Structure 1
Amino acid sequence: MRQHARVVVIGGGAMGVSLLYHLAKRGWSDAVLVERQELTAGSTWHAAGLCTHFAHNATIMEMRAHSVRLYREVLTAETGLPTGFHASGALRVTRSPERMAEFRHVQGLGRFVGYDFNILTPAELKKIYPLCETDGILGAFHEPHDGHVDPTLATNAMAAGARSRGAEILRHNPVQSIERTASGEWLVRTAQGDIRAEHVVNAAGTWCREVGTMMGIDLPVVPMLHQYVVTDTVPEIAARIAAGEKELPIIRDPEESWYLRQERDGYIVGPYEKAAHPWAIDGVPPAFGMELLPPDLDRVEHIIALAMERVPALANAGIKTVVNGPITFTPDANPLVGPAFGLPNGWLLTGSSMGVMEGGGAGAFLADWIVDSEPPRDALAIDPRRFGNYADRDYRVDKAVECFGLQFGVHYPYEEREAGRPRRTTPALDIQLSQGAVLGAAYGWERPNWFATGNFDRDPPLTFKRPGWLGAVKGECLAVRDSAGLIDLSAFSKFEVSGPDAEAFMAALGANTPPSRLGRIGLIHVLSERGGVASEFTVTRLEQHRFYLTSAALAERHDEDLLRARSAPFAGVVIENITERRGVLGVMGPNAAEILQAVSQVDLSSAAFPWLSAQTIRVAGIKVTALRVSYAGESGWELHVQLAQFRRLYETIAKAGAKHGLRPFGVYALNFMRLEKGYRGWGADLTTERTPLEAGLGALVKADGRSFVGREAMLERQKASPWRMALLEIDDDGERLPFYSHAVLQDGRPVGVITSGGYGFRTSKLLALAYLRPGVPEREFGISILGKELAAHELREAPYDPRNLRLRGLDHLQPAASV
């Protein structure tokens, strides 16, 4: 056994073996996989092996598509070993108009990514699946390139491919402990001996929490019990085989929550019950491996009965086997693929409830990330750092149960799921609720999405079209434009960077230079090695060697890791995460200065307190760091205060603003208003896939005479064939609202994708930001939204206050017609 390795992978399921295989293909053959029992032990060996392209996120769709290509073609061609892949295709049927809208949305995303999905009529469904009854069916989603694979054959083929390139697999070798040495190496102690490694990867699946504890992290993963039934011979299928008919496609009914696939001359039927059953929450039994739990068909027989009604042939078969085993769920049902927070060269590849379906692609994704030091595509949906300390035991259990029960749930835009909440709150939450706040959750923080005032329903139906809260949000936007608005921005991630080397560190951090003067504010985009946008910070220079940074709520762990890693060469730098100690209250609009002036002795005029400056002031005796910035595009301030003082500050401002038309507003209104200014949002419009130059942020890039990570790669990409971001105005059909992942069309072909969208109530325009492929001319476009193509054109400048006169408090110099 090797005593040194570049990478140690812990876990021999589909995901871990896929990583080993793809690392070896990338030339990292000095890699070892250790498995406590046999390969596929845990959940891989008993998986149903379904493979799909269907996803609501482009990264996950491509990850699943990679698995299909790998199992269908690549592995057998490389190793000569079978994977048992059946290219059967797949169907999803529905009786729901909202589900049909979801199907059309995924179809549009697939069109951009490069995968063709078909929407079928009931008659077309019957032709493809003659054993299916179509009564009540509105339509079906057809995935022609889907199929199913033998999990054990596929895993062993990947293992053979890894071994042939020099990687090593050690079975029956449980890990006993994991340590970080003084030199920064990982020391993995196993039953067969110790291995020192540069990188360690937790791909332990069912046992990932135990391995995580050894690494020093608490993973938000719960094993959930899932059953499926393997039938005896189904006469109708046997007759089809005898007649030479091709294999039936996999069929799913999301409303009834089951899947059905042909298994030789019978069926596998897999139900997902709404009342889910967590298992081994606080630790998997030490002896558990390739065992199953006893059948419990009483839990699922009502779902199987529904499947029999839809496919009557299923009722004609007896039961051969019942498989009841654990599969892992995270709080959002997406896997954990990427860095382990706070652990340099510690990685996670686990938490997938669909480990075989996603394993081939997830292993390739993480191999690229490890080798290249950055993800190959936008990783936000799968990055393990998307969860924080708030994801405790109760949270992970509650969310896993919710996700299991909604395994086939419709994925609506603007959906807020309630399980596990609340987790992080500000002291003003009760006041906001009394004002009509309808809350959302962002990285565990409860924050108002919008305010239900007057006759607005607090709980309007979820939809893919125009939501019931749109009228309330319109009122909020117009109040901010005409008087003033109050918004809770406490969910921001917040950091202080200080020390004798702080200035040098900040100067080298990203594409822009930090503010040179005390009390000034700037925007810095930190780049990846390939020049993409890794993160975005609002930077305030508080003192000569002290900076205050804020960033997106979802980026808290991501950005803390990034700051600590980038500051490593600077010995005299201290990074402090102060997110939970600060609250942030935004006061925006033309009356903002007058409202604050009533409770403060500081001169708040634009001359004394200009845009993009900061001062420490007192508001009704409360010490506040006031930043003259506004994501809404109106004159205003962010008031950063100790969280313990946040409630008193909120009450003070609300009372002072009552006679000035001050109105609370939420993040939905803020998001719509920022689109009218063309402001990009991290995680949606700004990702590692695109450079700040491609994002249209050239004014914030200072590359001359400077050195920073990603500089050369960014400039080279700009010389080649860059993508570009466009702000689009879309024809308003009165029914649809753009959000994300809609294909942008030109001459009928997909040339781009919308990253964010909404309605600009101050300008009466339907707006979206979109990335366009290299070489796409500035012409008219079509936007495919839920199966309908809407005309769109590119705007040359922001439609609202393009000269920033309102932001600067100089709107008296601007004719009203140009606002």
Structure 2
Amino acid sequence: MRTHARAVVVGGGAVGASIAYHMAKAGWTDTLLLERDELTSGSTWHAAGLLPYFNMSYATTWIHDYSIKFYKTLEEETGLNAGFSVVGNLRMAQSKARMDEYMLYASTAESVGVPFEWMTPDQIKERWPLVRTEDLEGAIYHPTDGYINPADVTQAMAKGARQRGVEIIRKVQVDGFTRRGDEWVVHCRRMVEKGGNLIGGEEYFDITCEHVITATGNHAQRTAAMVNCYIPAMPVEHQFIVTEEDPMLQEYRKQNAEHPVLRDADAKWYVREERGGWILGPYERNAPACFKHGVPDSFRADLFPLDLERIEEEYMSMIHRIPSSENCGLKDDFNGPICYTPDGNPLIGPAPGVENFWFAEGFSFGITAAGGAGHYLAQLITEGEAEIDMWSLDPRRFGAWMNREYAAEKNEEAYEHVYILHHPDEERERARPLRTAPSYDRMKAAGAQFGQVNGWERPNYFAPQGFDDHASRSFRRGGWWQYAEAEAKAVREGAGLFDATAFTKHRVAGPGATAFLDWLTCNKLPKIGRINLTYGLTDAGTIRTEFTIVREAEDEYYVVTAGAATAYDHDYMVKEAAKKREDFGWIEVQDVTTQWGVFAIAGPKSRDILKEIISAADPDTALTNKAFPWLSAKRIDLGMVPVKAIRVAYTGELGWELHHPIEMQNHLFDLLMKAGEKHGLKLCGARAQNWLRQEKSYRAFGSDLGRDATPLEAGLDRFVDMDKDYRGKQAMLDTGIRAKCVTLLIDGPADADPWGREALLDGDQMIGRLTSGGYSVAFGKSIGIGYVKPDLAEVGKKLKVRMFRELYDAEIVEDSPYDPKNETIRANG
């Protein structure tokens, strides 16, 4: 047995076996895999083995697509049959809203190249007569997926890993990790074995390695705690039942192929054939989270008692959909732990706060994701970046403020939402409100309908009292649309006030701060009292983070980044600063997010409103272009509140961000609302702001900007300094232009706007996709931002965008179609 390896993988389920395989395939053959029992003895052994393509996440769709294609190659490579039954997957809809959901999902599938077909109820009935269809609207069918034997595919990947040089050691318990210099020490123990038999006693030993990757499933919280991390990966009970043989099914099968995996999303279940009968897997309400404080050591390949009362509704709906199943008795049942995260997506990427330690945890669809997760994580580790943007799966998307109580609430919710309609404007309600700015109650009283970002409550829009946000959600223009439109018009014509407290804020200071930020970002650093928009690049030259940098002194900076990325950006800057202190000098990176509230005021009347409350010798000149130019920052007093005022507006109008001590927020809010009353100041939310920023072609991090595009591909040339050296510069230049970011005006359907997931076509050829979408009050039509082939990225180019299965006209327009010369945003007064 090796005592040193380049990488150690902890966990021998499907995910761990895939990681070991792909690490070796990438050339890291000096990889060890440790499993505390036998391979597949965690959640893998009781998984149903389904391989659903369906996922609203672009990154996860790529992962699922890779897995399904990869599993089909394993037998040829290893000689082991992975047990893949390519029967297809039929996802049925009982309502028009559900079909709208499938049509939106199909846009993502089309942009990834996932095959699918549309089916009518009559077509379903003709092909699968055992299925009741008279109450269906239709279905989407994936012919290339199906189900697989979890144990077989895991063993096949394990054999493939061994063939490539990986050593797999079973019956090894990992008890801890210690960082020594540039290496990890993995502390292990195992029962003493002789002649294949356990003879009692324990053997303790250490393995040193450069990298640790954990895929420990239900034990994720314990694993993370060993390196002083908390991750909200917690199991939820999932049960499925196996029926006895169905005579009508057996008769059908005498002359027909196996049914596809059947999914009735509105009934919250999947069903597939199993030895002449059926497997029913429900996603019911009130399935409890388990192992909140860790998995007992005595719990191995165990199950929980079945709770049939909890799934009675789903069981009866199966009988309704497949009437022949009514006379089938129950043959077997499973109720086991399946790990979840608060948003249902896995945690794939670096552990916060520690070097060369990687998580692959929280897989609620672990068999589906295992192949792709191993592939893309191996790219992250061995190449420094994956070919797809992994931000939406990064473990650091969840902040340190989360605890076990929150994870239990949200993971139970994520489980029951597997088959809930996934509206793009969906806001899940559990564990809220939790993080609130002081003005939360005032805004709620004014009709704020809140969303949440990184746990913060943030107004999406404002509506009359009694308005039901949940009932207004839609895949088309929901009931909220009229209020967002009014808010957007108010900003263009008068003034609007936004709560931007959720912004991530850091103080970066010290003798090495200037050299550090200059190396970390691609734009020139601002002068004292000025601001710059800039980007941190990955080693692959793609966009890692968007920064607004305010220079407050020679070596002191106030750095603002996306509200969703607090832990993500903090960990990034702290780790990079630690590496560069020897080169640049001392660098202090301090997260000050919760110290500063932020209001953004924007619109042609915003200066007039601030004049009413600014404490200055001459209020009429204090905010002029000469005294306070665009893209500058200064300390001003608004009433009794000392404010870091930044003259910038994400909406593209004259405006300021007002960063203020958070404990003074209510005083400032009252001042602004009183001063704004005679000027028509309107409270506004994130949805109107999202529309307005697209009229200015302002790219959004996490949708338009990510780790799969360089700043040059994103059309951010004006923020790229070619005369200095910085991280990722040469890789950015070597990458070239694979796609180009453009803004489009769209003549879409009268009752809908794009959401930013839609395919773009030139004739009948798909040539790109939208990454943002919405409505333009300036142009009276839909708008979007997206990426297309570079030879097509010409102003005036006519394209098509697919919405609800139909093609609509779209035209590429110049960047910043609203106020392209920035005359409005620079307005003097």
Do these two structures clear the TM 0.5 threshold for a shared fold by scoring above it? yes
CA positional deviation for 1:288: 1.0
Q: What does 1:385-534 correspond to in 2, within 5 Å?
A: 385-453=396-464, 458-515=469-526, 517-534=527-544
Query: Taking structure 1 as reference, are residues 797 and 357 closer, same or farther at Cα in structure 2, changes over 3 Å only?
Result: closer
Q: Distance in 2 between matches of 1:455 and 1:420?
A: 22
1:216 maps to 2:214: no
1:233 maps to 2:245: yes
Partner residue in 2 for 1:754 = 770
Which SS does the other structure have where 1:634 is aligned?
coil
Which SS does the other structure have where 2:514 is aligned?
helix
Q: Distance in 1 between matches of 2:756 and 2:814?
A: 21
1:7 maps to 2:7: yes
Partner residue in 2 for 1:572 = 586
Partner residue in 2 for 1:170 = 169
Counterpart pick for 1:793 among 811, 814, 818? 811
**Which moves more between the two structures, 185-194 or 679-688?**
185-194
Which SS does the other structure have where 1:124 is aligned?
helix
Partner residue in 1 for 2:600 = 586
Partner residue in 1 for 2:822 = 804
Partner residue in 2 for 1:596 = 610
CA positional deviation for 1:155: 0.5
Q: Distance in 2 between matches of 1:668 and 1:6?
A: 47
Query: Taking structure 1 as reference, are residues 459 and 286 closer, same or farther at Cα in structure 2, changes over 3 Å only?
Result: closer
CA positional deviation for 1:383: 1.1
Which SS does the other structure have where 1:793 is aligned?
strand
CA positional deviation for 1:242: 3.4
Which SS does the other structure have where 2:451 is aligned?
strand
Q: Distance in 2 between matches of 1:554 and 1:489?
A: 12
CA positional deviation for 1:454: 7.9
1:551 maps to 2:572: no
Q: Which amino acid aligns with 1:791?
A: D
Which SS does the other structure have where 1:45 is aligned?
helix
Q: What does 1:640-789 correspond to in 2, within 5 Å?
A: 640-704=659-723, 706-718=724-736, 721-776=737-792, 778=794, 779-789=797-807
1:70 maps to 2:70: yes
CA positional deviation for 1:574: 0.9
Which SS does the other structure have where 1:268 is aligned?
strand
1:339 maps to 2:353: no
Q: Distance in 2 between matches of 1:618 and 1:265?
A: 76
> Does structure 1 retain, via aligned residues, the 8 Å contact 2:504–2:560?
yes
> Does structure 1 retain, via aligned residues, the 8 Å contact 2:543–2:708?
yes
Q: Which amino acid aligns with 2:186?
A: V
Which SS does the other structure have where 1:300 is aligned?
helix
Which SS does the other structure have where 1:62 is aligned?
helix
Listed as ranges, the gaps of 5+ residues in structure 2 are 191-204, 617-621
Partner residue in 1 for 2:213 = 201
**Which moves more between the two structures, 228-237 or 215-224?**
228-237
1:10-30 Cα distance to aligned partner (Å, 9 max, x none): 111111111011001101111
Q: Which amino acid aligns with 2:742?
A: A
Q: Distance in 1 between matches of 2:239 and 2:731?
A: 49
> Does structure 2 retain, via aligned residues, the 8 Å contact 1:24–1:166?
yes
Partner residue in 1 for 2:199 = none
Q: Which amino acid aligns with 1:742?
A: E
Counterpart pick for 1:189 among 187, 190, 213? 187
Which SS does the other structure have where 2:319 is aligned?
helix
Q: Distance in 2 between matches of 1:754 and 1:622?
A: 42
CA positional deviation for 1:728: 0.4
1:632 maps to 2:648: no
Partner residue in 2 for 1:614 = 633
Partner residue in 2 for 1:88 = 87
Q: Which amino acid aligns with 2:406?
A: Y
Partner residue in 2 for 1:815 = none
Which SS does the other structure have where 1:191 is aligned?
strand
Which SS does the other structure have where 1:323 is aligned?
strand
Partner residue in 1 for 2:288 = 277
Q: Distance in 1 between matches of 2:123 and 2:411?
A: 36
> Does structure 2 retain, via aligned residues, the 8 Å contact 1:520–1:613?
yes
> Does structure 2 retain, via aligned residues, the 8 Å contact 1:522–1:612?
yes
**Which moves more between the two structures, 651-660 or 519-528?**
651-660
Partner residue in 1 for 2:547 = 537
1:530-576 Cα distance to aligned partner (Å, 9 max, x none): 21111100001100000111010111111112212332213321111
Q: Which amino acid aligns with 2:333?
A: V
**Which moves more between the two structures, 604-613 or 190-199?**
190-199
Q: Distance in 2 between matches of 1:454 and 1:295?
A: 44
Q: Which amino acid aligns with 2:45?
A: W
> Does structure 2 retain, via aligned residues, the 8 Å contact 1:21–1:158?
yes
1:355 maps to 2:366: yes
1:231-280 Cα distance to aligned partner (Å, 9 max, x none): 2222233234433x221111010111111111232221111211212222
Q: Which amino acid aligns with 2:641?
A: I
> Does structure 2 retain, via aligned residues, the 8 Å contact 1:19–1:363?
yes
Q: What does 1:373-392 correspond to in 2, within 5 Å?
A: 373-392=384-403
Q: Distance in 1 between matches of 2:627 and 2:356?
A: 48
Q: Which amino acid aligns with 1:598?
A: E
1:43 maps to 2:43: yes
Which SS does the other structure have where 2:489 is aligned?
helix
Q: Distance in 2 between matches of 1:727 and 1:317?
A: 56
Partner residue in 2 for 1:817 = none
Which SS does the other structure have where 1:303 is aligned?
helix
Which SS does the other structure have where 1:100 is aligned?
helix
**Which moves more between the two structures, 404-413 or 543-552?**
404-413
Which SS does the other structure have where 1:575 is aligned?
strand
Q: Distance in 2 between matches of 1:329 and 1:523?
A: 36
**Which moves more between the two structures, 587-596 or 150-159?**
587-596
| CA RMSD, Structure 1 to Structure 2 (Å) | 1.5
1:122 maps to 2:121: yes
Q: Distance in 1 between matches of 2:376 and 2:148?
A: 20
Q: Distance in 2 between matches of 1:236 and 1:594?
A: 77
> Does structure 2 retain, via aligned residues, the 8 Å contact 1:129–1:249?
no
Query: Taking structure 1 as reference, are residues 343 and 320 closer, same or farther at Cα in structure 2, changes over 3 Å only?
Result: same
Q: Distance in 2 between matches of 1:408 and 1:205?
A: 22
1:22 maps to 2:38: no
Q: Which amino acid aligns with 1:575?
A: V
1:6-57 Cα distance to aligned partner (Å, 9 max, x none): 1111111111111011001101111111111111112100111001211112
1:349-383 Cα distance to aligned partner (Å, 9 max, x none): 01011111111111111111111112321112211
> Does structure 2 retain, via aligned residues, the 8 Å contact 1:396–1:420?
no
CA positional deviation for 1:583: 0.7
Query: Taking structure 1 as reference, are residues 433 and 404 closer, same or farther at Cα in structure 2, changes over 3 Å only?
Result: same
> Does structure 1 retain, via aligned residues, the 8 Å contact 2:740–2:793?
no
Q: Distance in 2 between matches of 1:19 and 1:233?
A: 38
Q: Distance in 2 between matches of 1:392 and 1:651?
A: 34
Which SS does the other structure have where 2:239 is aligned?
strand
Query: Taking structure 1 as reference, are residues 200 and 777 closer, same or farther at Cα in structure 2, changes over 3 Å only?
Result: closer
Identity %: 39
> Does structure 2 retain, via aligned residues, the 8 Å contact 1:453–1:472?
no
CA positional deviation for 1:733: 3.0
CA positional deviation for 1:694: 0.9
Q: Distance in 2 between matches of 1:671 and 1:242?
A: 56
Total equivalences in the alignment:
804
The TM-score with structure 2 as length reference comes to 0.95
Counterpart pick for 2:328 among 302, 313, 317? 317
Query: Taking structure 1 as reference, are residues 802 and 36 closer, same or farther at Cα in structure 2, changes over 3 Å only?
Result: same
CA positional deviation for 1:722: 2.4
Q: Which amino acid aligns with 2:590?
A: E
Which SS does the other structure have where 2:745 is aligned?
strand
Partner residue in 1 for 2:258 = 247
CA positional deviation for 1:397: 1.0
> Does structure 2 retain, via aligned residues, the 8 Å contact 1:457–1:469?
no
